[in-house]
C-alpha cells in the first residue's frame, strides 16, 4: 500500500493527493471506514425545494481560484438559496462575484477566500483565522423574515501533504492529528458564536476524521442532509478520480441547532467545481 501511494504521489498534484488519500486510506481505518464509490445518485438531487419553506441555506466550495465565473454564477443562482456560504474564492473571484451577484444578494460579506451572500440584512459579521488550521471562519447574523439567526461559514483544516514529513505522517494525521485540530477549531468557532442565538453552520469539513461532526452533534447540532435523506453517505459532495475510477465523499455539510428543523435537503451539480453544493430548507421552531 505504501509503495502504491508513493508512486502515485509523484504523478499527481498535491491538491489532488490530499483528496485522493482521504479516500484511499479509509478502508484500513476501522471506525473511519468509508467505501469508495462512484458518483451515486443523490436521493433528492435536482428536485425543486418547496417554495413555502421558511429559509433556504446553501453551501458551495467553488474550487480554488474560481476560474470560470460565468458557470460559477450559474450554479449559485440555481441553488435559489436565501443565504449562500462560499469558500475557496480568489481575490479576483470575490471581486467579480460581489459585482455580478449584487442584485441577487444585496447583502454580501467576503473575507480571506470565504463569503456569505444573503437576500436579507447581515449584521455583526466577523472573520477569524483558525488558531490551529490553515483556513478560517466567517460569521454573520441574518435578519430574516422569520427572525434573526447567526450563520458560520466553516472551512476546516485539510490533511497536510506539502512536505516529505507530511506525507510520511499521513496515517497519524488521519487517525489522531486531524481530529485534534478539528476539535480545536470547533472549540474556537463555538466560543465565537453568540450564545442563545439560533445557529446554522455550513461549509467544507474536510472530514477524513469525523471528530468535528461528532463533537457538534454532542453540542446539539443536526446534520440537515442526513436528517431527511436515507443513507446520506452514499451521496458524495466531493468528486474526483482515483486510479481512473470516479469516486467521492460527502464532506460538505449544513448543520443547525434545535431552533430549526430540516424539511428538505439536496445536492445539485457543481461543475466547474469538484464540489457539489448542498441546499437545505429549514423551518423555524417557535
User: DSSP strand E in the chain: where?
Assistant: 55-61, 83-87, 107-111, 114-118, 122-129, 136-144, 147-155, 199-204, 222-223, 238-242, 245-249, 252-256, 260-267, 278-284
Q: Distance between CA atoms of 90 and 113, rounded to whole angstroms?
A: 6
pLDDT for residue 216: 93
Q: Which of 39-53, 58-72, 127-141, 187-201 has the lowest mean pLDDT?
A: 39-53
Of the candidates 102, 81, 98, the residue with the CA atom closest to the CA atom of residue 90? 98
User: Sign (positive/negative) of CA torsion 195, 196, 202, 204?
Assistant: positive
Torsion of CA 229, 234, 239, 243, to 10 degrees: 180
Q: Is the pLDDT of residue 36 over 50?
A: no
pTM over 0.75: yes
Predicted local confidence at residue 66, as pLDDT: 65
pLDDT digits (tens, 9 = 90+) for 242-256: 778 888 889 899 999
Instruction: Express as a percent the part of the chain with pLDDT over 90.
Output: 49
Contact between 254 and 205 under an 8 Å Cβ cutoff? The reply is no
Helix axes 14-25, 2-9, angle to 10 degrees: 160
> 2-284 in CATH: which number?
3.60.10.10
Q: Which of 128, 79, 127 is nearest to 105 (CA)?
A: 79
Mean pLDDT along residues 150-163: 73
Residue 109 has pLDDT above 70, yes or no: yes
Confidence of residue 266 (pLDDT cuts 50, 70, 90): very high
Domain boundaries, the chain: 2-284
Is residue 224 exposed (0-12), middle (13-18) or buried (19+ Cβ within 10 Å)? buried
- Which band of pLDDT confidence, cut at 50, 70 and 90, is reported for residue 77? very high
**Cβ-based neighbour number of residue 5 at 10 Å:** 15
Q: Let me know: does 120 contact 186? Beta carbons within 8 Å.
A: no
Amino acid at each position: 500500500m505504501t509503495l502504491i501511494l508513493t508512486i502515485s504521489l509523484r504523478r499527481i498534484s498535491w491538491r489532488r493527493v490530499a483528496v485522493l488519500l482521504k479516500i484511499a486510506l479509509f478502508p484500513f481505518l476501522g471506525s473511519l471506514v468509508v467505501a469508495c464509490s462512484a458518483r451515486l445518485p443523490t436521493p433528492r438531487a435536482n428536485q425543486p425545494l418547496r417554495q413555502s419553506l421558511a429559509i433556504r441555506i446553501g453551501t458551495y466550495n467553488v474550487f480554488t481560484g474560481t476560474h470560470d465565473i460565468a458557470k460559477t454564477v450559474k450554479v449559485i443562482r440555481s441553488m435559489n438559496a436565501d443565504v449562500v456560504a462560499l469558500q475557496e474564492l480568489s481575490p479576483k473571484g470575490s471581486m467579480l462575484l460581489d459585482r455580478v451577484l449584487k442584485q441577487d444578494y444585496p447583502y454580501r460579506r467576503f473575507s480571506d477566500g470565504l463569503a456569505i451572500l444573503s437576500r436579507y440584512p447581515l449584521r455583526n459579521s466577523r472573520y477569524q483565522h483558525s488558531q490551529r488550521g490553515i483556513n478560517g471562519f466567517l460569521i454573520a447574523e441574518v435578519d430574516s423574515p422569520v427572525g434573526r439567526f447567526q450563520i458560520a461559514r466553516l472551512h476546516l483544516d485539510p490533511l497536510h501533504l506539502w512536505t516529505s514529513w507530511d506525507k510520511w505522517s499521513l496515517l497519524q494525521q488521519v487517525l489522531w492529528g486531524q481530529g485534534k485540530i478539528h476539535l480545536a477549531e470547533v472549540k474556537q468557532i463555538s466560543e465565537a458564536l453568540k450564545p442563545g442565538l439560533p445557529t446554522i453552520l455550513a461549509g467544507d469539513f474536510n472530514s477524513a476524521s469525523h471528530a468535528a461532526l461528532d463533537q457538534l452533534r454532542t453540542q446539539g447540532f443536526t446534520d440537515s442532509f442526513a436528517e431527511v435523506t436515507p443513507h446520506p453517505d452514499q451521496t458524495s459532495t466531493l468528486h474526483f478520480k482515483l486510479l481512473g475510477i470516479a469516486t467521492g465523499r460527502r464532506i460538505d455539510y449544513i448543520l443547525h441547532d434545535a431552533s430549526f428543523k430540516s424539511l428538505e435537503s439536496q445536492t445539485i451539480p457543481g461543475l466547474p467545481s469538484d464540489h457539489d453544493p448542498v441546499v437545505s430548507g429549514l423551518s423555524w421552531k417557535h
